[in-house]
Structure 1
Amino acid sequence: MSCLRRIIYLWILQVLYLSQNVCGARHKYVTCGSVLKLLNSDYRVRLHSHDVKYGTGSGQQSVTGTELQEDVNSHWLIKPEMGKECGRGELIKCGSVIRLEHSATGKNLHSHYFSSPLSSNQEISCYGEDGVGDTGDHWVVVCSGDYWTRDESIMLKHVDTSHYLATSGRTFGRPINGQMEIIGVHSSSGAVHWQAAEGVFLHAPDITAKHMHTMHTEL
């Protein structure tokens, strides 16, 4: 990630933080254009990436789980699937297809049929340049209601391989010592549940306040 890109990214987060406006029920939803951290409900680690490549498998940028709450490398931007659009602050419907762009490096959360390095499950990586990748970046939001809410645990199902985003519980050595392996698994049982944690949540007008546009942040 270039120095200029990092400065711009941190500046945007600061502006959004200073623009917070606490307002009602809209803040319970996860929305398009929001930047958030995803917390694994079972192992209590946050989905994380960094400019460290796997030494096996695809050799792409690694994805891990970290116990650190404050790490800036755990922010993910919610985007629509390729070829589609969604408005800033539009609610994410259960069953919709999204992409998650790693904010610090501009690569998308990705999977494919390579084996993961520690448990030999399916590898999860970050792929693409400046937010542009391929269909391996597509994930279905699996949740129980009409829309993804911040207080519920959801699953993310990979479109191309039908595997669920999960953690194996195994941890890496150097250079990412102590961080947990993130994998794809074929079953919806196990450590496959994720919850929206800290982030910048954008909100467009809703049916109760069509004249308002609010943003709420909990970095």
Structure 2
Amino acid sequence: MNNMNIIVQCSCFVLLFDLISSNQDAVSYSSTFKLVNQQSGDRLHSHEVKYGSGSGQQSVTGSSDATDVNSYWQVHGENSQRGSPIKCDSIIRLLHVATKKNLHSHDFASPLSNNQEVSASDEGGIGDEGDMWKVICSNENDYWLRKDGIRLRHIATDKYLHLTGDTYGRPIHGQKEISCYPNANNHNLWKVDAGVYVRPSSEPQLSIPNNQFNAHSQSIHTDHVDYEL
């Protein structure tokens, strides 16, 4: 075997290793996780509290409580295979695990900043174009990697999922307003956190810094689990 053949084979091996490694580190369809805002450290959150203005739908907020189970979301896509890695620029839906409603936005004004309202709607996960978001990767990758920040751009209105910093009073005292904003900036950069990440083999990979998720993970297939602490 000459030197040129060795170089070609080594290059192919490195390329294959990088591809496999990227796929394993990618966020995959049907995975369940928390989304953390990189500017504030708050988690994307929802609960059975409705807006008192605008659409009157279930409110979506930013929560600083790392243990709150109402901050888990499950990612889905059209005609997507469970466990397959999500490519950058893919169109996804985020299902709120506790209430079974989709992350949604529309042309109502948000209550504090007067930006575009973000809500949770369509019980059972059956939604419309208002539930569709594009994954905008912050780095030059082919896939949405767990270590990287991303933005979520709302398909129907072309605005970004955003945390304003405006804070609610009662009954959700201390939680932050989530809205949609027309420009990309540090306030709409998000990163995945604790959760169950489903592998292409349909075996979930569990990453849990606290025990709060255990009671809610029974509905997710857990044939084999690797712990990441």
TM range (shorter): 0.7 to 0.9
Partner of 1:10: none
Higher helix share: 2
Partner of 1:218: 207
Q: Does the CA-based 8 Å contact 1:73-1:103 persist in structure 2?
A: yes
Which of the pair has the greater relative contact order for Cα pairs under 8 Å at 6+ separation?
1
Q: Does 1:136 align with 2:130?
A: yes
Deviation at 1:129, TM superposition (A): 1.4
Identify which of 197, 203, 222 aligns with 1:201.
197
Structure 1 residues 49-101: Cα deviation after superposition (integer angstroms, max 9, x where no partner) = 00000001000000000011111100101001xxx211111110100100000
User: How do 1:172-183 residues align onto structure 2 when only pairs under 5 Å count?
Assistant: 172-183=168-179
Partner of 2:4: none
Structure 1 residues 129-174: Cα deviation after superposition (integer angstroms, max 9, x where no partner) = 1111111000000013100000000000000000000100011001
Q: Number of paired residues?
A: 187
Q: Does 1:170 align with 2:181?
A: no
SS of residue paired to 1:191: helix
Partner of 1:38: 35
Identify which of 107, 112, 116 aligns with 2:106.
112
Structure 1 residues 103-124: Cα deviation after superposition (integer angstroms, max 9, x where no partner) = 1001000000100000100100
Q: Does the CA-based 8 Å contact 2:23-2:143 persist in structure 1?
A: no
Q: Which runs of 5+ in 2 are unaligned?
A: 1-20, 209-229
RMSD, aligned α-carbons:
1.4
Partner of 2:185: 189
Deviation at 1:185, TM superposition (A): 0.2
TM-score where L is the length of structure 2? 0.79
Q: Does the CA-based 8 Å contact 2:22-2:143 persist in structure 1?
A: no
Q: Does the CA-based 8 Å contact 1:39-1:194 persist in structure 2?
A: yes
Deviation at 1:26, TM superposition (A): 4.7
Percent of counterpart pairs with the same letter? 47
Identify which of 127, 144, 168 aligns with 2:121.
127
SS of residue paired to 2:188: coil
SS of residue paired to 1:65: strand
State how far apart, in whole Å, the 2-side matches of 1:65 and 1:71 are: 11
User: How do 1:33-112 residues align onto structure 2 when only pairs under 5 Å count?
Assistant: 33-80=30-77, 84-112=78-106
State how far apart, in whole Å, the 1-side matches of 2:144 and 2:186 are: 20
TM-score where L is the length of structure 1? 0.82
SS of residue paired to 1:117: coil
Q: Does 1:151 align with 2:147?
A: yes
